[in-house]
Amino acid sequence: MFRIGEFARFTRVSVKMLRHYDEVGLCQPAQVDPATGYRYYTVDQLPRLNRIVLLRDLGFGLDQIADLLIRDDADLDRVYAQREAALVDSVARLQAQLRAVQARREMLRDTAPDDLPDVVVRPVDSMLVATLTGGADDDVAALFYRLESYVRDQHARAGRPPLTLLPEPDDETVTAIVPITWLVPPADDIEIKLLAAVPRMACAVYQGGYAGLPGLLQRMLHWLDRTGERPAGPIREVYLRFGAEAELGLPSTFLTGGRDDLVTELQVPLADR
């Protein structure tokens, strides 16, 4: 029989942890002296303790370990497969973080810190929208005025910002989009559709005149290239604060009176990893 201190030195498991394993019922001592409260362990308990230590090293929590100790082999394989999948996902996230850190360090060598794009990758929900498509040389403001006017007249304006789908490399069109609350009838070349959700969207915010957006987009694409990401779909310009005619009746939270106060988010859909 080993006293707890001796057993701790022999197994390289701390006395504190052995006491904790006792308290939660994972590995209880073979004997407890009723007079002194001293805990005693035997070599027969080593296989169970080693199994606990192994499972802790594999990343299982104590509740999971208690369950694993009584499972049969078929159940164990399924649990190990789930843990493997979780670890693979965790490694992928860490690798993505590493690439992002390396990309920012590399870009700092030839880019001022204030010019580094703060790119956030997040999901974007689907939404019901009204769209109006024009040529690449069309006045986008005129497209939006017509589209917002129609949505206003239908009493269907949703409280989300409008956006533009930028043309693909071989395309010569631009699409203005206004979120709506219900399925209104289409009119002429105004279409009603569900804008698909994007599970992974690279997003960066720009404050100032629209002339600065192409530069931000180039920096974003440079960042994506260095992090191993690939664009997968039309780029979106989302107008978080913008100028608009008063008669359109848009929410005041969207509106600004000056070019320097414009706020736009560029969104680049990303391919699945």
User: Which contiguous run of DSSP H or E holds residue 69?
Assistant: none
Phi, psi of 73 (to 5 degrees): -60, -40
Q: Among 244, 236, 263, 241, which Cα is nearest to 131's?
A: 236
Indicate the CATH number for domain 120-269. 3.20.80.10
CB atoms within 10 A of CB 214: 10
Q: What pLDDT, on a 0 to 100 scale, did the predictor assign at position 251?
A: 86
Q: Classify 2-68 by CATH class.
A: mainly alpha
Give which of 273, 266, 267 is closest to 228, Cα–Cα.
Answer: 273
* CA within 13 Å, CB half, 140: 18
Give Cα separations from 200 to 89, 170, 229 (angstroms). 15, 24, 10
pLDDT tens, 101-116? 888 888 888 777 777 7
Total-model pTM:
0.73
* pLDDT single digits (tens) 186-220: 998 999 999 999 999 999 999 999 999 999 999 89
Pairing of strands 2-3, 31-32: unpaired
Q: Domain ranges in the chain?
A: 2-68, 73-115, 120-269
Kindly give the parts of the chain with pLDDT less than 50.
none
pLDDT at 73: 73
User: For 37-65, how does the pLDDT look when each residue is reduced to its tens digit (9 = 90+)?
Assistant: 999 999 999 999 999 999 999 999 999 99
Task: Extract the tokens encoding 218.
Answer: 């180039």
